Amino acid sequence: MRLRTALSSTASVVCALTLLSACDSGSATSSSGGKPLVGVDYPRSDTDFWNSYIKYTPDSAKQLGLSLKTTNSQNDVAKLTANVQTFISQGVKGVAMAPQDTAAIAPTLAQLNAKKIPVVTVDTRPDSGKVFMVVRADNRAYGEKACQFLGTKLGGKGKVVMLEGGLDSINGRDRTEAFNDCIKKNYPGIKVFGEATNWDGAVAAQKLQTDLTAHPDIKGVYMESSFALSGTLQVLKQKGLLVGPKDKKHVFVVSNDGIPEELKDMAAGKIDATVSQPADLYAKYALYYVKAAIDGKTFKPGKTDHDSTIIQVRDGLLEDQLSAPLVTADGAAYGGVASVKSDDPSLWGNNLG
């Protein structure tokens, strides 16, 4: 196995080689069934992406032999803090969470660390504080892939709107900074209108409408996640711009997430590309690493056995960067970035029942 782990026994080696095993550590179990009790806080349930993650989580727990307690912090760090207190009182042995405010979560992480309850963060990386592992994709690559696609489609000239996520989140910052840096370096003839939205679809739609009114020659939109999908398509339709990619009025739209609706809209010619953020693998490996922490395993930077790379972000903080491909209607390369065709059966968005 290419994950370099420190294992304490032959049984642990067997458990590591069988990624989705139900091995128990003999301790740190719930009071019933002998399964380790793990708390999972869902960050929100108002987007298709996170609802998909929520759907995948129980199956992943079952495969790993874990017992679950779940909460939903609804994009509110105060609720997340309260939910963690509930987990502690319930005797969980590990926690998976996806804090949307990556700075404000530090005191909660410190409390869990003091109680020796390992934490895995999903999709987001805390600005400070200790966690066992971050399960995430390379979010700077999201912005770069969107830049290369739009830059190629626009021939390096024109105007685009970037509907930013929350800049209190490492994801919003990474995607925004990488998109801007890539445009500046590779496509200086493109003007970017950056719009802060705090991951709010209504805000994104209102700002896109304002930009299109002031600049009717805008030819591209980069949505930092599918939160803005419905509103963006509605605004384009109202403006008479929701036309096929061969129509000269077409506005090229790139999203991030890879939800089923994006793939359907791509097939219909309504949007042009997305980056498939792996909701299924987030659920799978978040719980895998929680269980690994409970079992006393450790990891080092390097290639994994699941097409990803563990990097060291800072001293004591590791991040498993899962694969997140660019997805397009034709599966071609754009600006040197390879893409996967939108109907590819390997995409989780084409397999969500």
Using the predicted structure, report yes or no on whether residue 231 has a pLDDT greater than 80.
Answer: yes
pLDDT of residue 115: 97
- Tokens for 89, please give them: 């009182």
% pLDDT > 70, the chain: 90
Q: How far apart are CA 16 and CA 38, in angstroms?
A: 19
Lowest mean pLDDT among 12-26, 171-185, 199-213, 287-301: 12-26
Using the predicted structure, report yes or no on whether residue 5 has a pLDDT greater than 50.
Answer: no
Using the predicted structure, report yes or no on whether residue 32 has a pLDDT greater than 60.
Answer: no
- Could you tell me which of 129, 203, 140 has the C-alpha nearest to residue 166? 203
pLDDT of residue 353: 61
pLDDT of residue 4: 39
Digit-coded pLDDT (tens) for 314-332:
998 999 999 999 999 999 9
Band of residue 33 on the pLDDT scale cut at 50, 70, 90: low
Q: Model-level pTM?
A: 0.84
Using the predicted structure, report yes or no on whether residue 271 has a pLDDT greater than 80.
Answer: yes
| DSSP secondary structure string for all residues of 76-128 | -HHHHHHHHHHHHHHT-SEEEE--SSTTTTHHHHHHHHHTT--EEEES---SS
Q: How far apart are CA 197 and CA 119, in angstroms?
A: 29
pLDDT of residue 34: 82
Digit-coded pLDDT (tens) for 159-216:
999 999 988 888 999 999 999 999 999 999 999 999 999 999 999 999 999 999 999 9
Q: What is the mean pLDDT of residues 21-34?
A: 42
Q: What is the mean pLDDT of residues 286-305?
A: 97
Phi, psi of 217, rounded to the nearest 5 degrees: -95, 10
Q: How far apart are CA 203 and CA 89, in angstroms?
A: 38
Count the neighbouring beta carbons within 10 Å of the beta carbon of residue 311.
15
Using the predicted structure, report yes or no on whether residue 248 has a pLDDT greater than 50.
Answer: yes
Distances (CA, A) of 82 to 75, 87, 133, 260, 304: 13, 9, 22, 33, 34
- Tokens for 108, please give them: 């909660």
